[in-house]
Structure 1
């Protein structure tokens, strides 16, 4: 009888702990997912600002590279006699002043400007790519915090229940109603749960440190207990257009534009470049002054080992860049298919846990309590049922996190949800 009463007392304590609400403590305002994203967007992130500076530099170079070369001025003392050093002794003695302006071949200047502007577009596309990656990191980091905070609360609740159970068992053991093995088993489970709590706390600190990179002090705030509604991007069902607009593909498009400009530059090299020369010669005395004007023209006759090679190299570079783009698009399509499959299958698993697994774990734990109180179940079975319910709850939380991360990946690939 004393053993049964001890069991009943222990069960009553455990049931009251498991059924009771978690204590509510004053805390900071929870950090929602949308707010975290807004903070990351509004932050003056150096890794983004540097792309603006780099793009601006290329725009400046585009203007400079589109301009003609600086004209050259030439001053000459021509046919000056060395016997008398008189400027009016010889009729051909002159003081000459000349001006030379070079003109690159064909549309070389315009193509150079186009190439620099394409390089500026590469930097802008890279900025958008890094921005998407930052938002992806913030979202996944927030989902990690959601899991870790809720997991710690769940494990802490189970730890409190085991602590009350251990207290009741120690009292029962002291009165001779329980054996020492049960007390040791509870102490072992307490130690294992303490280790689990420590591991969760460690992971949470690391997750907050990663978020602090983009959120600053806001990363130390708690997150809400529940996930916000997660709507798939409208492009998720037909991702072809969305993926071709992905910043990584835009980077490749801009690289292709620079390669095309290099092809055009190589083609312009087949055209002659030319220069205009003008001069004025002053002669001393009553002699007439001289005016000079001339044109210099390059003649690209031997193109086999210069222009032809450069054009071939430019075309091969462009082909390689085109293949890089095709490979990138295939990688994005693969990643999208994986993320969409994860989303769909995790939805099914979450529904299974919500509708069946969680309820079965709870019912199993309650049945073990009843059986233990009635003397038809041993203490290890009671502990196993308690831990099985804990593992079920943690698995359910992790499934929610993984589904949310799959959503974040789809948003990263297909664009923000609409």
Structure 2
């Protein structure tokens, strides 16, 4: 009778452990749906002008890509903690020697050889192997942190480019609209002179044709401005509708004032590949540790009828490596090959980034010189031509067509300067935010 009570207690303990292992513990977080993310309140428009630094701050606050990489790093760090622990013990519930036929078929109590048992087993993973497994996830966390830096670099570059595109396209549009107003006045004056018999009607048609062409340029520029506005809204939300405050010095770049070959070693993509190589080497160490088998120990307590002794079973097991050359050694070789792959990719990517960044720097510096030429000679010359054509027209020694052509050239020169400024600003953003300041510190 006492044996039955012991078996009942063991069964209850086993059932409690089963419930705890399957229904207890930490609950998973609720799913964060795309609809919930899109329904989140947008960043409101700022009260004053939106500066580039504030735009970058707002973009980082609402970036899901940065949050994703932070979560990946945290997940890997948590995995590293878990990998450093022993595996969970296994609960074993067993009924053996059940009659399969005869009058006692499937009875759990009729036959004296039928035993009901409960046991537990534990695999004792060696500390060196657990440390190596934990190190793999730690390296994966560093890869995720490097990916976060890359996401920051791309976010800041994209935000700055969209911001500066809108700044210069807005200036282009304002310039075109001011010319539109001036040209409309010129049409009115030409029409009045024609009606007074002091100018030919061709002057009126010429001016109206010029106005039509200008309208097309206004429409094209407005479309480009709308696209830039949409790009900026993608990064900063509703704050993109605020007035912008351009306070960027395109002549200075943090990357342009340092040793480029040395600085590119801090490029987030290169850091990510360096960490990927470290993770592959850490995985190779795990495969090397797995060449030494771990032992699993078990204990089983079983009982039969009340007139029979209760039984205790002890056991130990471990895998037998029958062909390490074809299995374990190949796994180590594969991990080392992945590390070599990451190393080669990092070298090749470094060369690519170095060449590309040099091109950016050279084009940026060339554009700065061209902008200086615009300010010092090209625009002043077109202004002088416009004034000379206008003076000649007023003195009846020139034509309206010459005035319009001079103004068109001056307008084209100013628009071209703004276009080069916009291209220079995009290059400046590429250089300025290529390497996040978090890496440079």
Q: Tell me the TM-score normalized by structure 1.
A: 0.82
Distance 1:369 1:173, change over 3 A: same
Q: Look up the match of 1:321.
A: 342
Shift of 1:286: 9.2
Shift of 1:279: 4.2
| Contact 2:153–2:435 (Cα < 8 Å) also in 1 | no
Shift of 1:257: 2.4
Q: Which moved more, 1:257-266 or 1:368-377?
A: 368-377
The correspondence for 2:249, drawn from 229, 234, 238, is 229
Q: Look up the match of 1:132.
A: 153
**Helix, strand or coil for the counterpart of 1:176?**
coil
Shift of 1:118: 2.3
| Contact 2:56–2:156 (Cα < 8 Å) also in 1 | yes
**Are positions 1:35 and 2:54 aligned together?**
yes
The correspondence for 1:181, drawn from 180, 198, 202, is 202
Q: Look up the match of 2:395.
A: 374
| Contact 1:263–1:315 (Cα < 8 Å) also in 2 | yes
Q: Which moved more, 1:153-162 or 1:107-116?
A: 107-116
| Contact 1:37–1:139 (Cα < 8 Å) also in 2 | yes
Q: 2: distance between equivalents of 1:47 and 1:286? A: 69
Distance 1:76 1:380, change over 3 A: closer
| Contact 2:300–2:314 (Cα < 8 Å) also in 1 | yes
**Helix, strand or coil for the counterpart of 2:299?**
strand
Q: 1: distance between equivalents of 2:265 and 2:56? A: 24
**Helix, strand or coil for the counterpart of 2:316?**
strand
Q: Look up the match of 1:47.
A: 65
Q: 1: distance between equivalents of 2:86 and 2:332? A: 23
Q: 1: distance between equivalents of 2:264 and 2:87? A: 43
Q: Look up the match of 2:35.
A: none
**Are positions 1:352 and 2:373 aligned together?**
yes
Distance 1:357 1:288, change over 3 A: same
Unaligned runs of 5+ in 2: 1-46
The correspondence for 1:243, drawn from 244, 257, 264, is 264
Q: Tell me the TM-score normalized by structure 2.
A: 0.78
Q: 2: distance between equivalents of 1:247 and 1:61? A: 23
**Are positions 1:388 and 2:409 aligned together?**
yes
Q: Which moved more, 1:58-67 or 1:286-295?
A: 286-295
**Are positions 1:60 and 2:100 aligned together?**
no
Q: 2: distance between equivalents of 1:76 and 1:216? A: 62
Q: 2: distance between equivalents of 1:94 and 1:191? A: 100
Q: 1: distance between equivalents of 2:76 and 2:378? A: 59
**Are positions 1:276 and 2:294 aligned together?**
no
Q: 2: distance between equivalents of 1:86 and 1:128? A: 64
Distance 1:175 1:257, change over 3 A: same
Report matched runs for 1:12-161 at 5 Å: 29-41=48-60, 43-74=61-92, 97-104=118-125, 107-161=128-182
Q: 2: distance between equivalents of 1:223 and 1:80? A: 83
Residues 342-374 of structure 1 show CA distances to partners (whole Å, capped at 9, x for unaligned) of: 221111111111111111111111111122233
Residues 366-413 of structure 1 show CA distances to partners (whole Å, capped at 9, x for unaligned) of: 111122233333332221111000011111222222222221111122
| Contact 1:242–1:415 (Cα < 8 Å) also in 2 | no
Q: Which moved more, 1:214-223 or 1:354-363?
A: 214-223
Distance 1:113 1:211, change over 3 A: same
Q: Look up the match of 1:172.
A: 193
The correspondence for 2:225, drawn from 198, 201, 204, is 204
**Helix, strand or coil for the counterpart of 2:326?**
coil
Q: 1: distance between equivalents of 2:371 and 2:120? A: 81
**Helix, strand or coil for the counterpart of 1:101?**
strand
Shift of 1:110: 2.4
Unaligned runs of 5+ in 1: 1-27
Q: How many residues align?
A: 388
| Contact 1:138–1:214 (Cα < 8 Å) also in 2 | yes
Residues 127-156 of structure 1 show CA distances to partners (whole Å, capped at 9, x for unaligned) of: 221122111111111111111111111111
Residues 54-91 of structure 1 show CA distances to partners (whole Å, capped at 9, x for unaligned) of: 3333333333333322223445567799999999x98x
Distance 1:365 1:284, change over 3 A: same
Distance 1:86 1:370, change over 3 A: closer
Shift of 1:227: 4.5
Q: Look up the match of 2:23.
A: none
Q: Look up the match of 2:31.
A: none
Distance 1:348 1:283, change over 3 A: same
Distance 1:221 1:291, change over 3 A: closer
